[in-house]
């Protein structure tokens, strides 16, 4: 009997931008900030401001949990996606391809917890392969693709916006490129990653995305905010 | 003032040159309905003094006229209301701290009806002895019913400004910082410390309350490294600004030094620019700073001496006089008498003399001081009166005379006949009180030092150093050296690099100083209680006599004296008065100041606006609003929303012309007759995996989980260790070691932490992992007899046959082309399917269901109809029908309790406590009103006999109550003592409006008692 | 606001990221069913409230979600150590003679 359920949570051909509802057989995807119509906002704000914001398209996200079976997880990851676990807690390992900086990125966020991101359509495949590679080892894998919104904040004042928003010490001396932390973001929580200098990734709970977006607009007001739809 | 002959505007006390003001930028402002002019660089105080304005307020209790006494944060009198419009009103602004801007409007806060003619002063004058310490306590005590009348009078008379009545037009924010070294205060010591620390490369922040850094150096006559002090300041600031490891904050008052070196810094970013902040800029910002080491370089406040009528406008601190002359080019008067106990007091006489105004005399309380300054006074031919004191000021509304008399060596009594000196300004200096406030915020008590006649910061367990004036250091060279030492030491604590010679001390020549005299209360020919009032705390109108009376009345602890007299209260926090007050109390009690001690200074050091405290957490950002993936559809379809925790849930979907009850009736009937749909995405969902997942469920739920096979769901009840119901929900077996738990919307976060708590602290050996998937799944429940037919239209890969997909089964498949998990569970009692799809497909599937549901008239219903529908079936809502004192047995859920499980699950032992087993506990029952049209109010209390006298014996209350269109009558649930055994009996609900409603106790199920529908 | 060293994240974090969970080292009785009402009541309700050193259980709610222990001085608010669940404190608490809790 199957011990852990692995189910496909991705509908093929479904990465089209949301249009008017037409055919029930053509699923459309909505990101958490779809209602904001960021593309239109982007036109309005122009570019070249102190802070730049974007919401990534739906990104495949898998929570990986392991305690004593870390080695097993490590080797399963290596066989399936050829990525290794980060060496230190609160850091990440990314695999890039072409212009994509992190096609796969694994973030070590708690002693027994990692967050793996991947293209949305690959999440089921990766989970399945990890499961079969892990065999009976006690590792938890949870597909949480729909549960989060992946945001990007960049620009010369992005760090200032973070300082207004999180209690974590985001000074580059402490929060250097490649560091990932779970912390607060205003009254919400965030998985925060320093992608490169002045470029940050915010993974927030989907239901809080609208709040976070409103907060960022207010916090970046004095620096100017440009929006892009990546 | 307009000079009528010249037709030019003249600031009569402004010097023709000098000062750190910009004479090219003339600013107009209004004070109490009159217009004045000042310059850029002025404060309101310096501009008022330049214009010869003497009276700036009325005192709190006696309503005596008051003038500007100081030039900084310690100002007790010049507290103004600032703002040109209602929305921009700011109360309690110190005139000495508010930079002048063009168009500024300000007014006195205490003058009622007018500052120069105050009815309250009558009370002050005739009632002087009447209003002793504890006046309000003693006078307005009786009769008690009059208190509300008294209170109105007192509030009007004692107001310190008023809050705006309109919404603030400005915005505010907060910013977090983490630094190695935080320096509070940017005088000589602070700047030196900052530079010394900054040069080592560690992260440094320096904050100063004034608009320019430099502190006393900005009006100092000395030179540092052969540069005028102001140039040295500019040089240091320039270097600091060039370092990217330094944050330099002006106009930023450090208001609190909290645990583990957490500081709150209130930056006033735009208050020098105008009434309203420029577009896009926040008016104030609170910096929340975590520092490894804090250096207090807060300096010291000059202590004015306490003598008769020392509150008359024209009485000032010596240092303030110097600051006005040198920094603002303002001489506050025409003829000056200086009284001092120390050398520092002489400087203001020199400054006054050097700009060509008359110094009547320097009155030195010391008989035989020998110091450089005495020679300098002689050189300037200033009259020096030694061994004497100004025992009283005289004048109507302002100083016109000083009464001077010789005193004995320790200043305890007057030895000679008083004589009169004609003057309009009396400057006094009783020494310097280190500004130790911040050092006290984490509980440390300041320590008295006899050698400097002041309190210095006491021992602390935090990493806090002090340097300069706050540490009792009184010469400039020593202040700078201490600053450098502290900065170097602090930096060394935070970095491993060698920082030995980061900075050497600049060259400063100190003057020879003679020791100061310990004098706080200047003696008078009469006893304090008979002499003219000798003020200790001007803001709270505390006098020397008042303090003596308090001690005579038995208040001996300084903390009690403080509360009885109000000394050191309010926005003042005892900045100028406390030490004098303590000295007076000490002397009255015949003990030392060290023995008397100080009161505790608490945050905040200065008043903070509510705007700054709130920051950006206002309006839409006050609290996060959480939205489901289908929220937009709800908005477009006219939903009204209900807050459930932070979630916005559709409450009901009214159509045009419908009342709320109409809507509920329509939604509920549609669901029971055809099919309804509910957005249930907010339910907490926890993915549970691991070899011991099943075992874990058995321990946290009251019922059995050992045999639940994959593909099946079960209702679970969770208790606390006390046996009381905590949460409930359906948990489904996804695979042998894999479960999906649902929780109530409000309980989601708590339940997840609860599971983690037990796993991490009690049963770490169990192999199990919990992951919140609440946000991952969009959940929609279709309920009603047509729900199967509807589902069949959008789902072809699940066998929906009632025997293949039974009640409490779940299946995976696809719905509307999207991967889905469908659970056949029901919170309405109807045939019902809960469809879960990843959140990004939620709206698509929802719309697909409506597209396909037209033929069934698919009806969206909200939380209110959900409540009615579940109540019709007697399904409870934890937190509404339970309140933390209800066990599963009380809830009539014995069927959900499995006491034969091998492990003593959470709640089992608790439920068996004596009190939980006793009879006559409140138990959940249905309540059927005798009149079916009457809906019981939720919360109504039940009695068995409504004829009994008040207070009646209450036997329970209503927990849920609705009108049910399906039942055709009102329905209710409640908890009633021994209710389960009393079905059929009547209880009565006497209401506040006089009605008494009778209801019969019954079971809780009103619709489909045999549960046929959900299984159909 | 405290500055708390999370023994799992191995970093100092701001108090806002944490949630206190009361007294540390409260062991659930191994055989709950065998407890008397008094023993169970003590486990359920009776807590220390010392002036001075105290061991507390906290959770890094906004961080790693792990529970851990803190030895804290309730007078000075200084945190003397933090340690993982299952580890023993290094700081010894002073012996305090506790009064027998009264039962009503």
Residue A76 lies in a domain: yes
Residue A187 lies in a domain: yes
Residue A30 lies in a domain: no
- Judging contacts by C-beta atoms under 8 Å, the chain C residues touching residue A187 are none
SS (H, E, C) B154-192: HHHHHCCCCCCCCCCCCCEEEEEEEEEEEEECCCHHHHH
Which long-range contacts does B615-618 make (Cβ < 8 Å, 24+ apart)? B615/B172, B615/B173, B615/B174, B615/B285, B615/B286, B616/A164, B616/A186, B616/A215, B616/A218, B616/A219, B616/B171, B616/B172, B616/B173, B616/B174, B617/A186, B617/A187
Residues A152 and A40 both lie in one domain = yes
Partner residues linked to B687 by β-bridges:
B740, B771
Q: Residue B312: pLDDT above 70?
A: yes
Which residue among B259, B461, B757 places its CB closest to the CB of C2? B259
Pick the residue with more confidence: B939 or A3?
Answer: B939
Alpha carbons B697 and B751: distance in angstroms, whole number: 12
Tokens of B860: 């969206």
Q: Which of B70-79, B201-210, B594-603, B614-623 has the lowest mean pLDDT?
A: B594-603
Q: Best of A163, A167, A185 to disrupt the C interface by mutation (most C CBs within 10 Å)?
A: A167
Alpha carbons B7 and B298: distance in angstroms, whole number: 45
Residue A89 lies in a domain: yes
Alpha carbons B847 and B834: distance in angstroms, whole number: 15
pLDDT value at residue A104: 93
Identify whether B143 is preceded by a cis peptide bond (ω within 30 of 0): yes
Alpha carbons B248 and B194: distance in angstroms, whole number: 9
Residues A117 and A223 both lie in one domain = no
Identify whether A178 is preceded by a cis peptide bond (ω within 30 of 0): no
Could you tell me the pLDDT band of residue A13, with boundaries at 50, 70 and 90? low
Under an 8 A CB cutoff, do C62 and A183 touch? Answer: yes
Residues A51 and A91 both lie in one domain = no
Which residue shows structure tokens 């705007």? B611
pLDDT value at residue B149: 62
**Inter-chain CB pairs, A–C, below 8 Å:** 38
> B690's torsion region: left (phi>0), alpha (psi -120 to 50) or beta?
left
Which residue among C17, C65, C66 places its CB closest to the CB of A183? C17
- Mean pLDDT (whole number) for C26-31: 92
Which residue shows structure tokens 């969206």? B860
A43 has a chain B CB within 8 A of its CB: no
- Mean pLDDT (whole number) for B429-453: 94
DSSP for B929-959 reads ESSTTPPPPTTPEEES-TTSPSSP-EEEEEE
Could you tell me the pLDDT band of residue B669, with boundaries at 50, 70 and 90? very high
Dihedral angle over CA of B976, B978, B979, B982, nearest 10: -130
- Mean pLDDT (whole number) for B112-134: 51
Of A145, A173, A189, the one marking the end of a domain is: A145
Which residue among C27, C40, C77 places its CB closest to the CB of B259? C77
- Mean pLDDT (whole number) for B861-884: 96
pLDDT tens digits along B547-580: 999 999 999 898 899 889 888 887 778 888 899 9
Under an 8 A CB cutoff, do C13 and A109 touch? Answer: no
Which residue among B177, B736, B842 places its CB closest to the CB of A163? B177
Helices (H) and strands (E) in chain C, counts: 1, 6
Alpha carbons B691 and B696: distance in angstroms, whole number: 10
Which residue among C1, C33, C35 places its CB closest to the CB of B259? C1
- Judging contacts by C-beta atoms under 8 Å, the chain B residues touching residue A167 are 176, 288
Residue A126 lies in a domain: yes
Q: Residue A43: pLDDT above 60?
A: yes
CATH number of C1-26+49-91, picked from 3.40.190.10, 3.30.70.20, 3.30.2270.10, 3.30.1280.10: 3.30.2270.10
B291 to chain C, minimum CA–CA distance in Å?
Answer: 10
Q: Which of A186-195, B595-604, B923-932, B937-946 has the lowest mean pLDDT?
A: B595-604
Could you tell me the pLDDT band of residue B507, with boundaries at 50, 70 and 90? confident
pLDDT value at residue B499: 55
Tokens of C8: 């799992």
A24 has a chain B CB within 8 A of its CB: yes
Q: Best of C4, C6, C13, C14 to disrupt the B interface by mutation (most B CBs within 10 Å)?
A: C14
A72 has a chain B CB within 8 A of its CB: no
Alpha carbons B317 and B323: distance in angstroms, whole number: 10
pLDDT value at residue A207: 97
**Inter-chain CB pairs, A–B, below 8 Å:** 180
Helix axis angle, B578-589 to B544-552, nearest 10°: 40
Q: Best of A91, A107, A110 to disrupt the C interface by mutation (most C CBs within 10 Å)?
A: A110
Residues A74 and A95 both lie in one domain = yes
Residue A11 lies in a domain: no
Under an 8 A CB cutoff, do A5 and B734 touch? Answer: yes
Could you tell me the pLDDT band of residue B502, with boundaries at 50, 70 and 90? low
- Judging contacts by C-beta atoms under 8 Å, the chain C residues touching residue B288 are 1
Could you tell me the pLDDT band of residue C99, with boundaries at 50, 70 and 90? low
Closest CA to B428 of B351, B549, B522: B522
Of A145, A165, A182, the one marking the end of a domain is: A145
Q: B535 CB contacts (<8 Å, ≥6 apart)? A: B306, B310, B311, B541, B542, B543, B544, B577
Helix axis angle, A209-219 to A158-165, nearest 10°: 120
Pick the residue with more confidence: B159 or B184?
Answer: B184
Residues of B engaging C, defined by a Cβ cutoff of 8 Å: 176, 258-262, 288, 290, 442-443, 461, 721-722, 753, 756-757, 760-762, 764, 904, 908-910, 913-914
Q: Residue B121: pLDDT above 60?
A: no
- Judging contacts by C-beta atoms under 8 Å, the chain B residues touching residue C66 are 760
- Degrees, nearest 5: CA angle B211-B212-B215: 115
Residues A73 and A127 both lie in one domain = yes
Residue A194 lies in a domain: yes
Whether ipTM > 0.85 holds is yes
Under an 8 A CB cutoff, do A168 and C64 touch? Answer: no
Residues of C engaging B, defined by a Cβ cutoff of 8 Å: 1-3, 14, 19, 21, 27-28, 31-33, 35, 37, 40-41, 43-44, 57, 59, 61, 65-67, 75-79, 85-86
Q: What percent of chain B has pLDDT over 90?
A: 85
Residue A170 lies in a domain: yes
Could you tell me the pLDDT band of residue A46, with boundaries at 50, 70 and 90? low
What CATH number does residue A173 fall under? 3.30.1360.120
Residues A51 and A151 both lie in one domain = yes
What total of structural domains would you count in chain A? 2
Residue numbers of the domain that contains A110: 59-145
A197 has a chain B CB within 8 A of its CB: no
Domain ranges of chain C: 1-26+49-91
Could you tell me the pLDDT band of residue A144, with boundaries at 50, 70 and 90? very high
Average pLDDT, chain B: 92
Q: Which of A43-52, A202-211, B437-446, B852-861 has the lowest mean pLDDT?
A: A43-52
Q: What percent of chain A has pLDDT over 70?
A: 88
pLDDT tens digits along B390-419: 999 999 999 999 999 999 999 999 999 999
Residues A53 and A66 both lie in one domain = no
DSSP one-letter code for B600: P
Q: What percent of chain B has pLDDT over 70?
A: 93
B96, B71 in Cβ contact below 8 A? yes
A205 to chain C, minimum CA–CA distance in Å?
Answer: 12
Q: B495 CB contacts (<8 Å, ≥6 apart)? A: B180, B200, B201, B202
B577, B76 in Cβ contact below 8 A? yes
User: What SS3 class is residue A97?
Assistant: strand
- Mean pLDDT (whole number) for B458-468: 95
Q: How far is CA A194 from CA A37, A153, A198, B142, in A?
A: 26, 10, 8, 66
Domains in chain B, CATH or no CATH each? 2-158 (3.10.20.440), 172-297+475-494 (3.50.50.60), 684-772 (3.30.70.1400), 919-1016 (2.40.30.110)
Q: How far is CA B568 from CA B386, B448, B603, in A?
A: 32, 18, 13
């Amino acid at each position: 009997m199957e011990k852990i359920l692995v189910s496909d949570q991705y509908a093929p051909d479904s990465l089209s931008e949301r249009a008017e509802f037409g055919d029930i057989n053509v699923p459309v995807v909505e990101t958490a900030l779809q209602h904001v119509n960021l593309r239109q906002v982007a036109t309005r704000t122009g570019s070249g401001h102190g802070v730049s914001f974007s919401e990534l398209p739906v990104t495949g996200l898998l929570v990986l949990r392991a305690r004593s079976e870390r080695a097993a997880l490590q080797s399963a990851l290596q066989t399936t996606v050829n990525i290794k676990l980060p060496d230190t807690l609160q850091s990440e390992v990314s695999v890039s391809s072409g212009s994509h900086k992190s096609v796969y990125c694994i973030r070590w966020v708690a002693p027994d917890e990692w967050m793996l991101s991947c293209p949305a359509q690959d999440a089921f495949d990766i989970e399945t392969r990890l499961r079969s590679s892990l065999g009976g080892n006690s590792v938890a894998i949870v597909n949480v693709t729909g549960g989060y919104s992946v945001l990007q904040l960049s620009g010369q004042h992005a760090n200032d916006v973070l300082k207004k928003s999180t209690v974590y010490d985001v000074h580059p001396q402490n929060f250097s490129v490649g560091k990932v932390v779970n912390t607060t973001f205003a009254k919400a929580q965030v998985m925060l990653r320093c992608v490169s200098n002045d470029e940050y990734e915010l993974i927030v709970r989907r239901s809080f995305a609208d709040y976070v977006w409103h907060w960022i607009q207010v916090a970046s007001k004095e620096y100017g905010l440009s929006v892009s739809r990546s | 003032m307009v000079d009528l002959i010249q037709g030019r505007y003249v600031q009569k006390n402004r010097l023709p040159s000098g000062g750190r003001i910009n004479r090219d930028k003339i600013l107009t402002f209004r004070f109490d309905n009159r217009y004045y002019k000042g310059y850029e660089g002025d404060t309101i105080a310096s501009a008022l003094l330049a214009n010869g304005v003497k009276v700036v307020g009325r005192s709190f209790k006696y309503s005596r006229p008051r003038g500007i006494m100081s030039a900084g944060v310690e100002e007790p009198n010049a507290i103004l209301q600032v703002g040109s419009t209602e929305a921009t009103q700011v109360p309690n602004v110190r005139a000495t701290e508010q930079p002048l801007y063009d168009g500024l409007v300000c007014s006195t806060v205490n003058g009622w009806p007018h500052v120069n003619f105050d009815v309250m002063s009558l009370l002050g004058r005739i009632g002087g002895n009447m209003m002793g310490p504890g006046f309000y306590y003693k006078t307005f005590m009786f009769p008690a019913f009059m208190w509300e009348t008294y209170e109105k009078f007192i509030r009007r008379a004692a107001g310190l400004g008023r809050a705006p009545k309109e919404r603030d037009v400005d915005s505010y924010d907060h910013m977090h910082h983490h630094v190695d070294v935080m320096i509070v205060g940017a005088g000589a010591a602070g700047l030196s410390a900052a530079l010394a620390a900054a040069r080592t490369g560690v992260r440094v922040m320096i904050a100063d309350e004034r608009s320019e850094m430099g502190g006393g150096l900005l009006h100092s006559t000395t030179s540092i490294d052969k540069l005028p002090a102001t140039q040295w300041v500019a040089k240091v600031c320039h270097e600091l600004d060039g370092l990217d490891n330094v944050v330099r904050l002006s106009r930023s008052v450090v208001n609190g030094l909290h645990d583990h070196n957490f500081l709150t810094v209130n930056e006033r970013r735009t208050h020098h620019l105008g009434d309203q902040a420029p577009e896009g800029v926040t008016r104030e910002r609170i910096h929340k700073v975590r520092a490894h080491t804090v250096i207090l370089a807060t300096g010291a406040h000059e202590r004015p001496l306490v003598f008769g009528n020392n509150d008359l406008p024209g009485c000032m601190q010596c240092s303030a006089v110097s600051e006005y002359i040198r920094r603002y080019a303002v001489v506050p008067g025409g003829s000056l008498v200086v009284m001092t106990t120390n050398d520092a007091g002489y400087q203001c006489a020199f400054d006054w003399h050097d700009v060509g105004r008359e110094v009547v005399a320097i009155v030195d309380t010391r008989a035989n001081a020998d110091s450089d300054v005495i020679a300098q006074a002689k050189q300037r031919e200033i009259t020096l009166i030694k061994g004497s004191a100004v025992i009283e000021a005289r004048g109507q509304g302002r100083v016109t005379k000083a009464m001077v008399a010789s005193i004995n060596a320790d200043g305890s009594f007057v030895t000679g006949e008083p004589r009169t000196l004609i003057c309009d300004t009396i400057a006094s200096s009783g020494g310097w009180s280190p500004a130790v406030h911040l050092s006290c915020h984490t509980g440390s008590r300041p320590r008295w030092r006899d050698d400097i006649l002041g309190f210095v910061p006491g021992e602390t367990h935090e990493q806090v150093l002090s340097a300069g004036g706050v540490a009792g250091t009184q010469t400039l060279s020593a202040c700078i050296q201490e600053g450098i030492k502290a900065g170097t030491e602090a930096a060394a604590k935070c970095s491993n690099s060698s920082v030995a010679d980061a900075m050497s001390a600049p060259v400063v020549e100190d003057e020879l100083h003679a020791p100061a005299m310990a004098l706080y209360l200047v003696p008078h020919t009469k006893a304090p209680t008979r002499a003219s009032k000798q003020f200790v705390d001007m803001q709270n109108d505390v006098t020397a006599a008042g303090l003596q009376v308090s001690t005579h009345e038995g208040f001996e602890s300084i903390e009690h004296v403080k509360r009885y007299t109000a000394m050191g209260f309010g926005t003042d926090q005892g900045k100028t008065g406390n030490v004098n007050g303590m000295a007076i109390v000490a002397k009255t009690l015949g003990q030392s100041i060290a023995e008397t001690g100080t009161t505790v200074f608490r945050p905040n050091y200065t008043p903070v606006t509510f705007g700054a405290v709130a920051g950006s957490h206002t309006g839409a950002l006050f609290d996060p609003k959480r939205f489901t993936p289908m929220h937009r559809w709800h908005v477009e379809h006219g939903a009204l929303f209900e807050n459930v925790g932070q979630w916005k849930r559709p409450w009901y979907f009214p159509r045009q012309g419908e009342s709320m009850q109409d809507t509920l009736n329509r939604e509920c009937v549609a669901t029971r007759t055809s099919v309804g749909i509910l957005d249930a995405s907010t339910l907490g969902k926890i993915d549970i995996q691991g070899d011991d997942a099943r075992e874990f469920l058995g321990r946290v739920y009251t019922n059995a989980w050992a045999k639940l096979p994959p593909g099946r769901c079960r209702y679970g009840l969770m208790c606390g260790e006390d046996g009381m119901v905590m949460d409930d929900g359906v948990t489904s077996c996804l695979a042998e070691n894999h479960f999906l738990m649902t929780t109530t919307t409000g309980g989601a976060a708590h339940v997840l932490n609860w599971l983690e708590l037990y796993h991490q602290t009690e049963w770490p050996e169990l192999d199990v992992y919990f992951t919140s998937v609440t946000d991952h799944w969009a959940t929609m429940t279709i309920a009603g007899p047509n729900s199967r037919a509807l589902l069949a239209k959008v789902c072809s890969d699940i066998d929906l046959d009632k025997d293949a997909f039974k009640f409490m089964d779940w299946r995976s498949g696809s719905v509307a082309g999207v991967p889905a998990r469908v659970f056949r569970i029901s919170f309405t009692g109807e045939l019902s399917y809960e469809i879960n799809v990843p959140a990004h497909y939620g709206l698509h599937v929802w719309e697909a269901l409506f597209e396909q549901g037209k033929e069934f008239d698919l009806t969206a219903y909200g939380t209110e109809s959900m409540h009615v529908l579940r109540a019709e079936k007697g399904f409870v809502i934890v937190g509404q029908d339970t309140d933390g004192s209800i066990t599963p047995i009380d809830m009539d859920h014995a069927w959900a309790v499995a006491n034969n499980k091998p492990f003593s699950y959470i709640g089992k032992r608790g439920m068996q406590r004596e009190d939980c087993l006793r009879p006559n506990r409140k138990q959940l029952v249905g309540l059927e009103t005798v009149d079916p049209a009457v809906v019981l109010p939720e919360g109504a209390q039940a009695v068995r006999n409504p004829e009994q006298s008040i207070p009646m014996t209450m036997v329970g209350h209503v927990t849920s109550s609705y009108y049910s269109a399906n039942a055709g009558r009102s329905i209710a649930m409640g908890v009633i003592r021994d209710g389960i055994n009393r079905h059929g009996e009547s209880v009565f609900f006497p209401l506040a409006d006089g009605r008494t409603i009778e209801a019969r106790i019954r079971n809780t199920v009103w619709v489909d008692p045999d549960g046929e529908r959900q299984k159909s | 606001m405290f500055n708390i060293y999370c023994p799992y994240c191995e970093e100092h974090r701001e108090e806002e990221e944490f949630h206190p969970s009361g007294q540390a080292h409260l062991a659930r009785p191994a055989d709950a069913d065998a407890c008397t009402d008094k023993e169970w009541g003590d486990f359920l309700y009776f807590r220390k409230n010392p002036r001075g050193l105290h061991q507390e259980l906290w959770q890094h709610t906004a961080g790693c979600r792990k529970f851990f222990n803190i030895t804290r001085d309730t007078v000075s608010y200084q945190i003397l150590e933090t340690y993982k669940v299952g580890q023993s404190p290094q700081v010894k608490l002073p012996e305090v003679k506790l009064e027998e809790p009264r039962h009503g």
